[in-house]
Amino acid sequence: MFPARASFTVPLPSGAALTLGERCLVMGILNVTPDSFAERERRADPAAAVDAALAMEAGGADIIDVGGESTRPGADTVSEADELARVVPVIAALARRLRAPISIDTTKAAVARAAVDAGASIVNDVSGFRRDPALARVVADTGAAVILMHMRGTPATMGSHADYEDVVEDAARELRESMTLGRAAGIGDDRVVLDPGIGFAKRPAHSYGVLARLPELASALGRPLLVGPSRKSFMSGALDGRPAVERDWGTAAAVTAAVLAGAHIVRVHAVAEMAQVVRVAEEIRRHQP
């Protein structure tokens, strides 16, 4: 028997809301960076990025996540000015054309504020409010929903922090600490989605363990879960060392496992293909006794 998936309504600044739990939503990854680890095509040009996002929506994306700074292992930081220049024109253009809500993938308060002003309604913070102390206040002030991810250190240093007594218990505790930071800034729990951070400050065994024990994590946290396994290196060993752009079959297996385990959102690169995977996995869930 697959675990039940709790239902949540996450308010957005427009007065609309994300309805989570009826089915697993698909978040499309739109990297507008010159150094994405997992894509064949670069989308630093705003027009190309807009076209890619529209294609994602047509292919089944429920949310578009725009990022202007790579978070791949070992990645260097990007200046605030460069990140703003990359993401704000794209978000402003998409806000006029997309039906799907837009998420800004950033750890910087100024970038988040400008992105929401341009039309984003969700802030996706891979640091879980631990990088920029002002970010939580921006989320509170703008009324944006927020995704808080579990990570230790930075993309450049996170590999040295992958030591756990119990990866699920430790991640749950640290995600609760991120929620506490949000509450202190005035963010209600109803606006929070949590991400266990597959591949971030985790060895492959940790990432597989989080996927295998996702229902336990959901029970411990009591909030909707986003799972982002797409093309990540934790599956490289199982796939004979294939490069990131050749890991979509492995991603499909991880996405299926996440959906069956009760994930509310999956974050993926190959939207059209993974939307099909999600739909079939949902049918399997629906036909259990």
Instruction: Indicate which residues carry an active-site annotation.
Output: 232, 267
Alpha-carbon span 203 to 159, nearest angstrom: 8
Q: Under DSSP, is residue 111 helix (H, G, I), strand (E, B) or coil?
A: helix
Contact 147, 122 (CB under 8 A): yes
Helix (H, G, I), strand (E, B) or coil at 190: helix
Beta-bridge mates of residue 173: none
Beta bridge partners of 147: 124, 193
How big is the chain, counted in residues? 289
Question: Per DSSP, what are the bridge partners of residue 192?
Answer: 146
State how far the Cα of 180 lies from the Cα of 170, in Å rounded to an integer.
15
Both tokens of 37, joined, read: 């680890």
Helix (H, G, I), strand (E, B) or coil at 39: coil
Sign, Cα dihedral of 131, 230, 179, 137: positive
